Amino acid sequence: ETAVFQTPNYHVTQVGNEVSFNCKQTLGHDTMYWYKQDSKKLLKIMFSYNNKQLIVNETVPRRFSPQSSDKAHLNLRIKSVEPEDSAVYLCASSSSNTGQLYFGEGSKLTVL
Amino acid sequence: GQQVQQSPASLVLQEGENAELQCNFSTSLNSMQWFYQRPGGSLVSLFYNPSGTKQSGRLTSTTVIKERRSSLHISSSQTTDSGTYLCAMEPPSGSWQLIFGSGTQLTVMP
């Protein structure tokens, strides 16, 4: 049963455009994440956010930024997409008590 | 080098056969998790396994933290088990991110 919801699930756009992916979790978790999965299936953390602290992976380009209105939402904005941004972006959440991750369906981005 | 090494990279089975997937960690870890990803689908958490053995249906996860390894055993495989299995480690206290392995691509033939 899905409890981490991502939209859109697919997005095709051109270089230089702005893209936003939305994520909402209904699990009552206090921490949310964005991961990037490349074509080789490698998953890398981009951001981690709870209601107190945003942690940014220093390798993430500045054109990426997380946006959160409350602890149940963490959106991902890409200001000016590049071809190498083509990937699947996965949102996840966890409770700081257990650490177990729950993922959304993923948002596949194709940059032409 | 890679902190999380999964093996095998790919595996093809006949339905009914068993599978053993391995994860080895090059550094110490607090805990680890196993995930399953359907072809083109989302990730599902299979086990959150800080240590010891956990079983869920035909799946068994065994983690030995001191030896920095974990295994996932699939018994009596079914075609619906096909997909990618990923393990991830939680580094020691003070680190904030899960580090994923590159996955095992499992194909179960009818």
Q: With helix as H, strand as E and coil as C, how does chain B read?
A: CCCEEEECCEEEEECCCCEEEEEEECCCCCEEEEEEECCCCCEEEEEECCCEEEEECCEEEEEEHHHCEEEEEECCCCHHHCEEEEEEEECCCCCCCCEECCCEEEEEEC
Averaged pLDDT for residues B90-100: 73
Chain A residue set in contact with B, beta carbons under 8 Å: 2, 40-45, 48, 55, 57, 90, 92, 98-106
What is the rounded average pLDDT for all residues in chain B? 89
B45–A102 C-beta distance less than 8 A: yes
Nearest in space to A66 (alpha carbons), one of A58, A75, A57: A75
Strands of A1-100, DSSP E:
4-7, 10-13, 19-25, 31-37, 43-50, 54-56, 64-67, 75-78, 87-94
Residue A92 neighbours by CB under 8 Å, 6+ apart: A4, A32, A33, A34, A35, A101, A102, A103, A104, B43
Find which of B31, B43, B90 to mutate to test the A interface (most A CBs within 10 Å of its CB). B43
pLDDT of B25-35, one tens digit each?
Answer: 988 888 889 99
pLDDT value at residue B43: 85
Helix (H) or strand (E) holding A2: none
Query: Would the pLDDT of B17 be above 90?
Result: yes
Nearest in space to B87 (alpha carbons), one of B42, B21, B39: B21
Structure tokens at A1: 């049963």
Quickly tell me which residue has 């702005």 as its tokens: A18
Find which of B95, B98, B105, B106 to mutate to test the A interface (most A CBs within 10 Å of its CB). B98
3-state secondary structure of A77: strand
pLDDT value at residue B94: 54
User: Rounded to whole angstroms, what are the CA distances from B39 to A41, A44, A103?
Assistant: 11, 19, 15
A55–B96 C-beta distance less than 8 A: yes
Alpha-carbon dihedral sign for residues B73, B107, A1, A41: positive
Cβ-Cβ contacts under 8 Å between A and B: the total is: 47
The CA distance from A98 to B30, in Å, is 12
A103–B35 C-beta distance less than 8 A: yes
Query: Would the pLDDT of B15 be above 60?
Result: yes
Which of B4-8, B16-20, B45-49, B105-109 is the least confident region?
B45-49
pLDDT of A54-112, one tens digit each?
Answer: 877 878 999 999 998 888 999 999 999 999 999 999 999 988 777 788 899 899 999 99
CA distance B93 to chain A (A): 12
Find which of B2, B34, B42, B96 to mutate to test the A interface (most A CBs within 10 Å of its CB). B42
pLDDT value at residue A91: 95
pLDDT over 90 percentage in chain B: 65
pLDDT band at B96 (very low <50, low <70, confident <90, very high): low
CA B56 to chain centre: 13
CA distance A103 to chain B (A): 6
pLDDT value at residue B30: 81
The CA distance from A33 to B97, in Å, is 9
pLDDT value at residue A97: 73
